[in-house]
C-alpha cells in the first residue's frame, strides 16, 4: 500500500472523528492541534486505524507521533 492509499484510507477513518473536514487533512497537520482530537477521540481513532489496517501499534511508537505525516509513515512501516 503506497502513501496515497494510506492517506485516503486514513481520511475515510477520520470522517466523524475529527473536528475538520476529513478531505482537508494534510500530512503536515498536527494530530492533536489541527485535527482536534482529545485523548478519548485519539484512542478511538487509533483503535479504528488498527482494526482497518489489520495490525497493532507499539505504544512507544504512538507516543512519538506529532503530525499526520508521522502517522502515515508509521502505518506504512507497520504494513511492510
The alpha-carbon radius of gyration of the chain (Å, integer) is 11
Average pLDDT over residues 37-43: 87
**Domain coverage including residue 60:** 3-79
Number of folded domains that form the chain: 1
Say which CATH number the domain at 8 has. Answer: 1.10.1200.10
38: annotated active-site residue: yes
The answer to whether residue 80 scores a pLDDT higher than 90 is no
For 1-27, what is each residue's pLDDT tens digit? 899 999 999 999 999 888 899 999 999
Confidence of residue 65 (pLDDT cuts 50, 70, 90): very high
The fraction of the chain above a pLDDT of 70, given in percent, is 100
DSSP letter string, 13-53: HHTTTSSS-GGG--TTSBTTTTT---HHHHHHHHHHHHHHH
Q: Which of 38, 44, 51, 61 is catalytic?
A: 38
Answer yes or no: are the C-beta atoms of 10 and 25 closer than 8 Å. yes
Amino acid at each position: 500500500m503506497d502513501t496515497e492509499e494510506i492517506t485516503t484510507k486514513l481520511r475515510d477513518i477520520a470522517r466523524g472523528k475529527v473536528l475538520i473536514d476529513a478531505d482537508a487533512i494534510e500530512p503536515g497537520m498536527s494530530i492533536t492541534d489541527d485535527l482536534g482530537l482529545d485523548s478519548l477521540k485519539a484512542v478511538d481513532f487509533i483503535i479504528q486505524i488498527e482494526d482497518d489496517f489489520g495490525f497493532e501499534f507499539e505504544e512507544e511508537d504512538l507516543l512519538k507521533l506529532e503530525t499526520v505525516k508521522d502517522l502515515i509513515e508509521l502505518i506504512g512501516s507497520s504494513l511492510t
